Amino acid sequence: MWERGFRGSTPTFPPDCSCHFWTMSLEATNEKLQAKVNALLLQVQKLEMEASGSSKQSTAPKREKITQMSSEVVDTNPYSRLMALQRMGIVENYENIRDFTVMIVGIGGIGSVAAEMLTRCGVGKLIMFDYDKVEIANMNRLFFQPYQAGMTKTDAAKQTLETINPDVVFDAYCYDITSSRNFDHFQNLIKNGGLGGNKSVDLVLSCVDNYAARITINTACNELDQVWMESGVSEDAVSGHIQTMLPGRTACFQCVPPLIIAQGIDESTLKREGVCAASLPTTMGIVAGLLVQNVLKYLLEFGQVSYYLGYNALNNYFPSEIVRPNVECVSRQCRSVCKKWEGKWQPAVWVSPAERARHEEPVDHGDNEWGISMDSDGEDEEANEKKQQQEERGGGMEEDLINALNGSSTAPVAAATSVPTPPPVEQEDEASLEDLMNALNGL
């Protein structure tokens, strides 16, 4: 230890110390004080945002609930443009969407946008899961507002979505589904959380950003034979994908694991302090749109459902595949449900109503100015039979001709083939090939 003295305002240092050490000590103290000041300023700002946000929410006008969807085209009908899909023949019964329950796990860049889209589409019930809070760092994405910073993502989402469409039933749960104490409750909600209770949800959407949560959803859905859809965006924020998981029919998440997991690398070791993945609201919005479009096609039964659809922004590439289950999947539940569905499912191929009607209706060629007609099927069959008989008869002609040349034929070759009978030729008991050829040339 050393003692510090002052001459006026200038400190004196013992011979074994340097001015550099003293400067660093002051800088460290200043940084700590500045960090505390910044934290206090942020806390004050957050309180101001929450106060202004709550006042906005309380003063924002809310429409009354609508008991039945209508296709009436008026400015006060929020469903008129959705019901137009029914009038145009795209969807048979759009109002059925109010009977469906969708569970969204992960209310982040994809999940929050997907929740808003489904809310605006008028889905019957939304169940949302997330354990994180809204941060200012999330403002580069869509949906969340700065005044919601500090709120749980589920509460903030429910607050906003109820204002957008009060007809939708919202359930929000803020906990980690990967923990053992929460898994049973999570799985029970899949099994009994449907609209009205005592029935399963219609679809589970995975919008999470880690492998453990995906495995948890995969396990729960395989055990319940529950259809779910998986989605994700790459760390460089320029590609993404969606995938429909039909347990026992298409590959589960463990049938084809990510390359990093397949190589045995721990996902947690990839994260570094001060380094985060890139995030573009454009890519996340596109993937969320593809996901919800697939949800609507699956629930309302129109169009071709995408079993796997990728997106690469750099080269505008949209790969589409059907990924089959892996018979050697590490998931015991997956192998079990595969036996249940073995030989009972084929990928659905959608045919538009117009195309189906075109194939079913008879072909009308209009006026036949030139009197062109086509043979009936009966005439074609008769001609084929005659052709077959001629071929069979032709196959026997060669044998009869050779026998005739050998003098041993008993069939009337001349009458059957209209070939004149050759003059008798003196032959030995066994005619050589050259003699036969000469006899044929003499015909």
Between residues 113 and 9, which one has the greater pLDDT? 113
Q: In 195-269, where does DSSP find H-type helix?
A: 211-224, 259-262
Q: How far apart are CA 26 and CA 114, in angstroms?
A: 50
- What confidence tier does 357 reach under pLDDT thresholds 50, 70, 90? confident
Q: pLDDT > 90: what percent of the chain?
A: 50
* CA-CA-CA-CA torsion sign (188, 191, 196, 202): positive
* pLDDT score, position 310: 96
- Which active-site residues does the annotation give? 276
Q: CB under 8 Å to 248, separation ≥6 — which residues? A: 225, 325, 334, 337, 338, 339, 340, 341, 342, 345
Mean pLDDT of 10-35: 56
Q: Does the structural domain 100-259+276-354 have CATH classification 3.30.230.70?
A: no
Please name every residue paired with 229 in a beta bridge, in sequence order, or none if there are none: 205, 244
pLDDT at 191 over 90: yes
* Predicted confidence (pLDDT) per residue in 91-123, tens digit: 999 999 999 999 999 999 999 999 999 999 999
Mean pLDDT of 204-209: 96
Q: How far apart are CA 184 and CA 186, in angstroms?
A: 5
- What confidence tier does 272 reach under pLDDT thresholds 50, 70, 90? low
* Predicted confidence (pLDDT) per residue in 407-428, tens digit: 544 444 444 444 455 555 554 5
Lookup result for tokens 């096609």 = 297
Residue 237, phi then psi, degrees to nearest 5: 70, 15
Average pLDDT of the chain to the nearest whole number: 81
The H or E element that residue 171 is part of is strand 169-173
* pLDDT score, position 415: 43
- What confidence tier does 78 reach under pLDDT thresholds 50, 70, 90? very high
Q: How far apart are CA 56 and CA 146, in angstroms?
A: 13
Residue ranges of the chain that CATH labels 3.40.50.720: 100-259+276-354
Between residues 84 and 51, which one has the greater pLDDT? 84
**Minimum mean pLDDT range among 161-165, 241-245, 348-352:** 348-352
Between residues 258 and 126, which one has the greater pLDDT? 126
* pLDDT score, position 322: 93
* Predicted confidence (pLDDT) per residue in 274-320, tens digit: 667 888 999 999 999 999 999 999 999 999 999 999 999 999 999 99
Q: Which stretch, 11-20, 59-68, 97-106, 355-364, has highest mean pLDDT?
A: 97-106
Q: For 8-131, where are the E strands, in sequence order? A: 10-12, 101-105, 125-129
pLDDT at 247 over 80: yes
Q: How far apart are CA 10 and CA 6, in angstroms?
A: 6
